[in-house]
């Protein structure tokens, strides 16, 4: 089977109908959906299964929805991967998989994180944009230049030639203009409720840090490759600090995957909704095996 790494999707991978087949066909999935509904005091299951899409897309709902879907699949699989990583929000799913945090604490944290990020986006309006076709160091350079117009910084180094920037609306739009001038193939503003992974999330970071201080986090055996450093982490206190820093700093996804491959990963499985990470991993490391588990049918085939 090779050395298996699990990777967990982040915001943007949600879709109406997600997890419905798991709920209908597996008692553990049903139990965890009901537990989440009770804990959050909302019908998250109904939002996942029936939408409407704009309700599912609200950051405070999206984050627990994707987390829940990913964790249910992880618990059904009952498999210990050699290493794990998650993209932004997905880092919380990865930490539950590795045993660093409990399902309950993870759910509480992602709901709070979603609410704080949504509020920070309302208080300090910002935006994000994908820039395709330029190297990461060129984008860093562009952001430095564009920051005369307003706050802007790299938010996600996703794969070779695909970087997302984040910040104030004038700053991000200026970076798009400069990127086009420097030869970017595509610059596209994203539909988001805030400038995630930028300084404009400072108030969300402060709120999250307070709650992180009260949560049980455990040292772990299965290394989690952290977004902030792209390196494996196992120590509880380091994890606590990195989760706070993750809100304000770029997701170093390309480097994380390269680190995992360097440390022996030969097979990646995306656990959770959608196929976003499968596409990114293929572009980063075409030689590795990559697949995904999202539906009940895919879970059965994987278990098989």
* Ramachandran angles phi, psi of 90, nearest 5°: -60, -20
**Mind listing the pLDDT tens digit for each residue in 83-138?**
999 999 999 999 999 999 999 999 999 999 999 999 999 999 999 999 999 999 99
Q: What is the residue-averaged pLDDT of the chain? A: 97
Q: What is the pLDDT of residues 127-172, one digit of tens each?
A: 999 999 999 999 999 999 999 999 999 999 999 999 999 999 999 9
Q: Residue 193 has what pLDDT?
A: 87
Question: At 282, is the pLDDT very low, low, confident or very high (cuts 50, 70, 90)?
Answer: very high
Domains and their CATH numbers in the chain: 4-122+199-303 (3.40.366.10), 126-189 (3.30.70.250)
* pTM listed for this prediction: 0.97
The dihedrals phi and psi of 270, each to the nearest 5 degrees, come to: -80, 120
The mean pLDDT value for 244-249 works out to 97
For the chain, percent helix, then strand, then coil, each to nearest 5? Answer: 50, 15, 35
Distances, alpha carbon 24 to alpha carbons 72, 193, 293, in Å: 13, 32, 17
Q: What is the mean pLDDT of residues 45-71?
A: 97
Q: For residue 304, what pLDDT is reported?
A: 64
pLDDT at residue 117, rounded to an integer: 96
Catalogue the active-site residues: 88, 197
What contacts 94, CB < 8 A, 6 or more positions away? 6, 7, 8, 84, 85, 86, 224
């Amino acid at each position: 089977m090779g050395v298996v790494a699990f990777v967990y999707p982040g915001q943007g991978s949600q879709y109406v109908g997600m997890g419905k087949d798991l709920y209908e066909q597996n008692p553990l999935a049903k139990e965890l959906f009901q537990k989440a509904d009770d804990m959050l005091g909302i019908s998250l299951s109904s939002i996942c299964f029936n939408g409407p899409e704009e309700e599912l897309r609200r950051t405070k709902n999206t984050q627990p929805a994707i987390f829940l879907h990913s964790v249910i699949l992880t618990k059904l699989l009952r498999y210990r991967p050699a290493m794990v990583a998650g993209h932004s929000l997905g880092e919380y799913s990865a930490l539950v998989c590795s045993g660093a945090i409990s399902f309950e604490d993870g759910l509480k944290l992602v709901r709070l994180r979603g609410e704080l990020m949504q509020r920070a986006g309302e208080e300090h309006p910002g935006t994000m944009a994908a820039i395709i076709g330029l190297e990461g160091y060129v984008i860093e350079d562009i952001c430095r230049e564009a920051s005369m117009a307003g706050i802007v910084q790299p938010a996600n180094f996703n794969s070779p030639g695909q970087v997302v920037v984040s910040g104030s609306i004038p700053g991000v739009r200026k970076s798009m203009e400069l990127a086009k001038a420097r030869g970017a193939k595509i610059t596209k503003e994203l539909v988001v409720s805030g400038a995630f992974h930028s300084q404009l999330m400072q108030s969300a970071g402060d709120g999250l840090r307070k709650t992180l201080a009260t949560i049980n986090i455990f040292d772990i055996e299965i290394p989690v490759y952290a977004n902030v450093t792209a390196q494996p982490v196992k120590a509880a206190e380091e994890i606590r600090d990195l989760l706070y820093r993750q809100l304000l700093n770029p997701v170093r996804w390309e480097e994380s995957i390269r680190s995992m491959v360097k440390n022996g990963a030969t097979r990646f499985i995306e656990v959770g909704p959608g196929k976003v990470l499968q596409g990114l991993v293929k572009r980063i490391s075409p030689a590795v095996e990559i697949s995904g588990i999202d539906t009940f049918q895919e879970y059965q085939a994987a278990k098989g």
